[in-house]
Structure 1
């Protein structure tokens, strides 16, 4: 969420397909590196069998866990909609082109990395898991609602701060 959008922003100046080709090339290189250099750690005889979702009904019978899973699903669905529609939204609302959209995503990614790398552990220690979860959901909601309502780039960027804090 940092290098990819920034690289796409730069490469989109070449053509709109250049970021796609670069992503494909990087994926091919990463696949080859993994294939050649990473040893197999689980052999077929030791590997788990069956459907990993077979435990889902049992998990969903637990009321607290069911509630958390449903909230998490709704939350990430909302964020997925934000991600997939952002370029069109930013182009229409703010006149963003592909490079500016990539740079904006990269900045958001840096902010998210800072939050995940530096803030989460102390916040969880201080507030606990439940309060941190609720705070994150609230901040993300403020960021998403604010992003939908704002019409200036500076204020839009400001709404991404609580969103990044909430997602972190």
Structure 2
């Protein structure tokens, strides 16, 4: 019962944390334009968050292995709160970049939250609990933009102050209600993160493959988002409000699939098999999207992709966690998030380059990333029966 209470407390914290992020993301560009921000600068601003997160997340995860999950999660949420206040108080582009970099540096809340879930989950429940956590993050991203739109009618600064307040609520909830999951006797007190771990982790037969597949699929998703935004505006010519509703529907489809994870894992015991089957649907949907100009067909294919893409993180995170000692959960899941950060940069950059040929090519590019991930999943399945990662030092 106590474990379930901790899980749902963590879910609530993740909802309000992702809600704050979802509120401000659509407003960054119009807010930054008053300081002279261009579309190119927006790309750099977005990348600055991901680059900072790439370097910081595994360090924070490693520190959570040594000092406990709860204090690191609280520190991450405080950093997010301060970054939103800095954004609201910004008087120049430099302050905007400083705010996003700070949020990236303290943005270890995802991997720390995942480590907390892993600490208190059995191997049989991990995929289900990761699915619940993923749904919590997804829910905030879906409804956040709508709330941000309403708050922006007060002022452009109002959504950022509101997001800071939400992050502060997350800090208070974590401090008063969340129980530490990494007890003193289980902590790795000599834990020290080295950046060479970013390379050595890929040598681990199962974990390395899972992280690389996650990187490819994240790259595919963020490339797709660029194609989605351009295609709906320039080809389908639907309004910004309709695009927002469309994107919300896409997000909801992924949430529904994540909530269905417990039932899916009862049908298929192999997490890598579930991942493999889901990638078949994702690849076909994305490939066919590149050939259509019809709103109804595009909607059906995007919802199919969103639905089956919802299985990605629960399966991969569970596969990784099943093969890591508790005293290295934070560091390993942090490394996984670091590679996801690279995908968040590479996806939009590669999509932007190929969109100069045709927006349809962006969907073909995304499908290619998925197909490569699909091929690597066969390697993952061959290694899945291995219970340990041998002597790989991460």
Please report the TM-score for the alignment, with normalisation by the length of structure 1: 0.71
1:70 partnered with 2:207 = no
Question: What is the match of residue 125 of structure 1?
Answer: 266
2:145: which partner in 1?
8
1:109 alignment counterpart: 251
Give the drift of 1:107: 0.8
- Structure 1 position 102, deviation (Å): 1.0
Shift of 1:122: 2.6
In the superposition, relative to structure 1, how do residues 7 and 24 fare at CA in structure 2: closer, same or farther (>3 Å)? Answer: same
What is aligned with 2:286?
Answer: 144
For residue 109 of structure 1, report the CA deviation from its aligned partner: 1.5
Calculate the aligned-residue CA RMSD, in Å. 3.5
Q: How does 1:1-168 map to 2 (within 5 A)?
A: 1-2=138-139, 4-6=141-143, 8=145, 12=149, 26-27=166-167, 30=170, 49-51=191-193, 55-118=197-260, 120-127=261-268, 128-168=270-310
**Structure 2 portions without partners, runs of 5+:** 1-137, 311-394
Residues 13/121 of structure 1: CA separation in 2 closer, same or farther (3 Å cut): closer
Count of paired positions: 167
Q: CA deviation at 1:14?
A: 9.1
Moved more, 103-112 or 7-16: 7-16
Contact 2:202 2:212 in 1 (8 A): no
Partners of 1:56 and 1:41 in 2: CA distance? 25
State the 1:28 CA deviation: 6.0
Q: Report how far residue 21 of structure 1 moved.
A: 7.3
TM-score by structure 2 length? 0.35
Distance 1:10 1:42, change over 3 A: closer
8 Å CA contact retained: 2:253, 2:306: yes
Cα distance change, pair 91–23 in 1 and its aligned pair in 2 (3 A): farther
Q: Structure 1 residues 32 and 123, CA, compared in 2 at 3 Å: closer, same or farther?
A: closer
C-alpha separation in 1, matches of 2:213 and 2:259? 24
Quick one: distance in 1 between partners of 2:302 and 2:282?
9
In structure 1, the gaps of 5 or more residues are none
Q: Is the 8 A contact 2:281 2:305 kept in 1?
A: yes
Is the 1:94–1:153 Cα contact (8 Å) retained in structure 2? Answer: yes
The 1:135/1:39 distance shift into structure 2, 3 A limit, reads: closer
Do 2:142 and 2:252's aligned partners in 1 also have CA atoms closer than 8 Å? no
Distance 1:22 1:88 in 2: 29
Deviations 1:4-61 (A, max 9, x none): 4455358659979587776566556655765787688889xx9765327654444322
